[in-house]
Structure 1
C-alpha cells in the first residue's frame, strides 16, 4: 500500500515538473553569427529559451530543406538575482547553404511563445561580399589536373583555414563515383594571411584513382568541429566557451579518358617508371651448376602497388630458373605516392661457355608526353666454366621415324641380332659374377673398417675428437641424418663434404658430385639432386622438401655402383687357367 502511494507521488511530481518546464517559456530568440554568408560556408544559428526546456524543444530537422544541418549542442544556465530565479536554455546549430540565394529560417515556437523568422542571404564564393575578413573557417581545394586517363591518379589537396584556436574537429574526405580515394603523406600545418586576417592552415593530400572513364564530379571535402570563441566568459557562466564550425569545399569537375584503342599489354599510366637489376655474387666466372641470384626492382611514380604488372622473363634453355620471393611496397616522397615491386630468382647454368641473359622490358604510358614508353634492363653476360650437365635423352622412337628395310636385310639383321644376343648373354654372365665378387669383397672390407674405426673411437678422448676435422664416415653419417630429417641445406653440405674426401677433389656444386658418382648417367640420382637444388633455390619453402629417403637411396646406389665399377675394371685372373 505504501509502495503504491509512493509511486503515485513520484509520478505527480514528474508531471508538475514537466508542466512547469513548459509553462514558464515566455520568450524565444533566434540569432545568427553572420548574414550574408558564402555558399558552402557554415554559420551558427543560436536559439534561446528563457526557461529550462527539454532537448526535444528544438528540432532542427525543419531546416533540412534549405540547409545542410550540422551537429546541435545544448547548454543551460541558472542564476538568482535579488531573489529572482532565472533559467536559460540555449541551442547552437551549425548550418551550411550549398547554393546562392535568399533563404528563410522559420519561426521557432513553444507554449505560445515564438521567435522572429530570419532571412538569410547566401552569395557566390567569387562575389565581393565573399571577400570579407570575418570568416572563422573555410576550406579551399586544388587539383593537379582536371583531365586524366583511366587509372591515372589525381592529387586532391585540401586546405582548412581556421581563424580561431581549434578545440576538436574531423575532416571528411571527398567523394567520387567509381574511384578509389586514399590519403597520402602526413598532414601539414602552417600560418597564412588571407584578406588581411591571419589563419591557421591545415593541409591534407588525397589521391583519387578513377576506375571508369567519363565525366565525374568530386564532391568537396567537409570539416566539422569546434573552435574556441573569441573573448573570455565569466567563470560563473555555464555556457560553453567553444562554438561549432563547419565548412564544405566546392565540387570539382574532372574528365577521365579511356585507354587508347591502339594500346597493347598491361595498362600502367605514370609520370615515371624505372626497372633496375642486381646480381649476386658478382664474379668474372661461374661454374656449371652454381646458382646466380638476380634481383629486379620495378618503381612507378603516382600509382598504387596493385597497379604494377607482373615481371615476365624469358631465359635460354641452357639455364634453369628458380623463382624466389616477390614483394611490393609504397612510400610518399615530396607529396607523391611511389610504388615498388621486387622480384628475386636464381639462375643455374647447365652448360659451359658464354651465357647471355636477355634484358626485361616493361611497357608503360607516359602521362606527361601522352605516349607509350618502355622501361628496360640491359642484357646480362656470364662466363661459365666446367663440364656440361647431361640431360636425359629422349627415346629414339620419339625423335626419328622408322626406316623401311628389305627382306634380305631383315634376315641379315636377324642373324646379327642372334649373334649379338649370344655375346651379350656371355657378357652379362661374367658381369654378374664380377659384381658378386666385388660386392662380397666390399662388404668384407667395410665390416673390417667398421670394427677398426669403432675400436679406435673408444680409445680417443672426446676433446681430441672435437678438435679433429670431420672424417669421411662422419660426413656420410651426417648426410644420412640430414636425409632422415628432410633437411635440404644440411644434406647438400654433408654430401659435398663426403664427396670431397671420398674422391680427393675440390667440389663446390652438386653437379660435380653427380658427375663423379653417375658413371654412366644415373637418371634417378640426377632427378633427386635436381629436386634438392629446387628446394634450395626456388620459391618453394625449404620445409616442404620430403625426399630425403629417396636422395639417400639414390646416392648410396650410385656410390656402390662406382665402387663396383672401379674394382671390376682391375684385371682378374682367368677362372680356368691354361696348363
Structure 2
C-alpha cells in the first residue's frame, strides 16, 4: 500500500470511530411506565454521555399534552479497566393533561435528539366513595400464561396520609422463578384527593403447568404524628395493617403446535447477525468474528437457545464464551444472548453459511413464529501474492551466442583472460553470503537457552493441565498447540492434526480427534479432560528421557 493509501485508510478509520462515538453518545429518553391513569405522575429521564448541556434542553414540546411538575439532575462517573465514562441525567416529573394514546415528543438536547416514546393514559382512578386513607392492592398483568413465560405481579400501596415504619411481608413462591424489578413511586389524584403510590413489582416465570397460587401479602405501617418535644422519637401513631390476595394464575402447558428443541415463550424475539469485518472479503487463513445476538421481550437471558455454528466443509469455526444478560423494560424483562465465533476459510472457494431459524411462541397472539438470519455466501480467495498452484519458473539459460551484448563488451570478454577470474570470485562471494545468511537464520530460530526453553515448556504444560482439569475444551485446544510448539521449535504445529503427527501416538491422536470434533464437528463429541491430561503427562515423561541431541530426529520414526 502506498503512503497516500495509508493516509486515506487512517482518515476513514478515524471518521468511522468518530461516527461510532457520536452514535453511542446520543441522548436517550426513558419512561418509568408506559401505561398510567389520568392524574398520575410520570417520570421522564433524559441521559447524555457526551458534552451536551442538559440544562439547556428545551421542554416546550412536552407542554401540549403534559404538565411539568418538577425537574432535577444528577451525574454519574464509572471507571472500568482504567476507562472513565461519565453520564448526566435530567429527571422530569410530569402529569398528562388528557386521556388517550399520547406521545412523548422528540426533544433537542445540545447536538442530540431523543426518540419519541408512546404512553397510554387511561381514565382517572376512583375509590368508589370509600373513605380509606391507606389501600394495599395485588395485581397481575395476566391471569393465564404459558409455562416458563413471564407474568408481572404488582404490589401497590396507596396512601393519602403520611406513614412511617412501612413494611411488606417477604415474597416467596414455590415452583416458579421470581425476579424482583425496579420499584416505582409516583403521585396521583383520586376523587379530588392527592395520593402517594408505591409499586413493588416481580417478574414471575412458572416452572410447571397447572395452577400457581400466589399467597396473600401483608402491608403494615404507622401513622406519622407530630412530635410533642425534641425528645419524642415518634412511632406512637396508630398502626395500619392491610392484606391483599391470595390470587391464582392458570399456567398452560407447551402447546402441541410448537416445534423445536428449545421452548421459548416471549412477547417478541429478534435475532441479528454482525461481522467484525466484511465476510465477502475473507482470504484463506484469515478470520472474521461472526456475532449472533438474540433479544426476547418477556424472557430471561438463560431461556434463549445457544447458537450452534454448524461446520461447513472448508470453513473452521472457533466459538467463544457466550454473553448472557437481562435488561428491564416497562413491560418486564428483556433477555439477551450473544454468541461469537471466529470463521476461518481453510481453502479458496465459495461457501454458503446456512440459514439460522429460531422458533418461538408469541404469548400475546398465541402463534408459532420464527426469528431468522438468512443464508449468506462467502467467497474466500487466496492471499495477495500467492499463486493458486505453486509453479516453478525456470531461470534463464545463457545462450552460446553473445550477439545481444554490445560488440565491444563481447569482444573484450572473449579476449580478456581476467573475466573468468572475476566471475569465479563473484560466485564464491555470493555463495559464502548465502551460507552466512542460512547459518544466521538457524541461529536465530533455534533456541540456545535451555533455561528459557524449560520455563516456556513448564508454563504451557501447566496451562494445558488447568484447562483439562476445568473441562474447558477451547482452552485445552490452544494450550495443547502451545505446549507442543515448545517441544518442536523447528516445526511448531499450528493445529491438533499437526500435533498428532508430531507425537505419532495413537491414543493421543484419538483424544485430540474427540476434542476437535467436540468443538467444531457436526456431532457434539464428548471428550475427557482428565484422560487427555494423563496421556500428556505420560508423553512428557517419555520425551524428557530422550537425549536432547536426538529430540528432533526421534519425532519422526524411520520407515523401516
TM-score for both structures, normalised by structure 2: 0.49
TM-score for both structures, normalised by structure 1: 0.47
Rg larger in 1 or in 2?
A: 1
